[in-house]
Amino acid sequence: MPGAERPVPIPMKLIVGLGNPGPQYDKTRHNAGFVAVDRLARRWASPSDTPKARFSGIAQEVGVKGNKCLLLKPTTYMNLSGRSVGEAVGFYKLDPSQDLLVIVDDVAIPTGAIRVRAGGSAGGHNGLTDIQRALGTEQYPRLRIGIDACPKAMKLEDYVLGRFTDEQAALLGPAIDRACDAVGVFVEKGLAAAMNAYNGKSDEVTK
């Protein structure tokens, strides 16, 4: 109707964990983002917050101290993650630089460490590359979970699709907990607060 006010988008934070669907990829290094989102769902979801097939992924709406969030695991496989993220961002009319947080594995960071970043290049990560293609920007926050550098004797694809060693798995659990804590700060207080709280020296891991 002419002159009618346009509906105001509902405030929403979109938390995306990257990974590959299917049992053959369960607990692989490349699925660290899926592991973090599953942990967040256990923390935040109520019995009525049922996961649903939406946005080319598995989505679950949760509440975090009065803030509305959507947890999303794309089921497009890693290299097409942008399709899922783009659908959700477009549906809720989100500002990727403020409302989106992508949780992703990173071979440039030691296992046990995490980093929160406001944006930047994909760093060779195919999932991030496709998200940047879909959004048309590199300026969206990401939370990087360290998985150690690929050994020189291995192909990168084989390494990231392999499962964590026992030593790495022992370091990963606490890192996932810190990552979930960082997401909570992002949702409640914003990106700067999460970066200040979780990018300090206390997050360094000595091995």
Please give the positions annotated as active site.
30
178 and 114 Cβ atoms separated by less than 8 Å: yes
Q: What angle do CA 108, 114, 115 make, to 5 degrees?
A: 80
Distance in angstroms (rounded) separating the CA atoms of residues 45 and 32:
20
- Match 């964590």 to its residue by tokens: 164
Distances (CA, A) of 76 to 73, 99, 163: 9, 22, 20
Ranges of beta strands (E only) in 20-94 are 52-54, 57-64, 67-74
Q: Identify the H or E element spanning 127.
A: helix 126-135
The alpha carbon of 73 is separated from its chain's Cα centroid by a whole number of angstroms, namely 8
- For residue 51, with 0-12 CB atoms within 10 Å meaning exposed, 13-18 middle and 19 or more buried, which class applies? middle
138 DSSP assignment: S
Strand partners, 58: 53, 73
Distance in angstroms (rounded) separating the CA atoms of residues 133 and 159:
25
